[in-house]
Amino acid sequence: MSARLPELLSAGPGEAPGSYIERVRVSAELVYFRGHFEGGAVLPAVAQITALLGPAIERGFPALGPLLEAEGLRFEQPIGPDEIVELRLDPDPRGGGWLRFRIQRSADRLAQGRLRMAERPAESR
């Protein structure tokens, strides 16, 4: 059976106020690796947002809802099967549901950008 989400290894606050960090293992069993690509699997960019960052945002920023907008996305290095990566999320100074993200492996930056998430009403949190 193929997995749909990476394995969460650790999670907690980052160094900056309001920031959040997770370490995850990107299992070779993730459904997103199928057919992308034979002989050299890489995690597609859309899966990096939906399968890696989406669950991390839900855990670290429960007041935020679905993705509304993305900007400044840069996918600089591929993520392969069974890699351990770190997801760093920081509230953007402009507010309005904007988060800055960085995906890295050790000191190597793999992806970065900004995402605007819907802000949930207080009663639905």
Please state, in angstroms and rounded to a whole number, the distance separating the CA atoms of residues 54 and 43: 15
For 13-32, what is each residue's pLDDT tens digit?
Answer: 999 999 999 999 999 999 99
Q: Average model confidence (pLDDT) for the chain?
A: 92
pTM: 0.91
- Please say if the pLDDT value at position 125 is more than 60: no
CB atoms within 10 A of CB 112: 16
Within its chain, how far is the Cα of 34 from the centroid? Answer: 19
Please give the domain boundaries of the chain with CATH numbers for all domains: 7-120 (3.10.129.10)
Q: What pLDDT is attached to residue 124? A: 59
> Which amino acid makes up residue 107?
A
Please state, in angstroms and rounded to a whole number, the distance separating the CA atoms of residues 122 and 5: 27
For 27-69, what is each residue's pLDDT tens digit?
Answer: 999 999 987 677 789 999 999 999 999 999 999 999 999 999 9
